[in-house]
Amino acid sequence: MLDMIMTLASGVFEDADILPTSRLEEAKRFDSMNLVQFIIELSELLDMDIEDEEVEKTMTFAELAKNLEAKKSLK
C-alpha cells in the first residue's frame, strides 16, 4: 500500500523526491487543493472511504499507509 500511496503522491504533488518519512505538508506542491485531490484519488485507488480528517498534513506518508492498512483490515 505504501508504494501505491507514494506513487500517487509523487504525481499529485509533482514531487519525485518525497520519501515515506516525509510529512505531507513537505511535498513541493502541497496546498489544500492538492491535498483534497490526493484524498479523492487515494480513496478511488484503494476503493475505500477516506475522510479528510483521517489525513493530517503533519503525518508522514508511512503513517498514513499504516493507518489506512489498519482501517482496511477492520472492514
C-alpha cell at 5: 500511496
Report domain extents, the chain.
2-74
* Residue 74 confidence (pLDDT): 83
C-alpha cell at 69: 492498512
Q: Compute CA 8 distance to the chain's CA centroid, rounded to the nearest angstrom.
A: 8
C-alpha cell at 9: 503522491
Bridge partner residues of 23 (DSSP): 60
CATH of domain 2-74: 1.10.1200.10
φ/ψ of 64, rounded to 5, equals -60, -45
* Residue 47 confidence (pLDDT): 94
pTM reported for the whole predicted model: 0.92
* Residue 13 confidence (pLDDT): 97
* Residue 41 confidence (pLDDT): 97
Amino acid at 38: F
pLDDT beneath 70: ranges in the chain = 75
- Give the C-alpha separation, 75 to 57, whole Å: 25
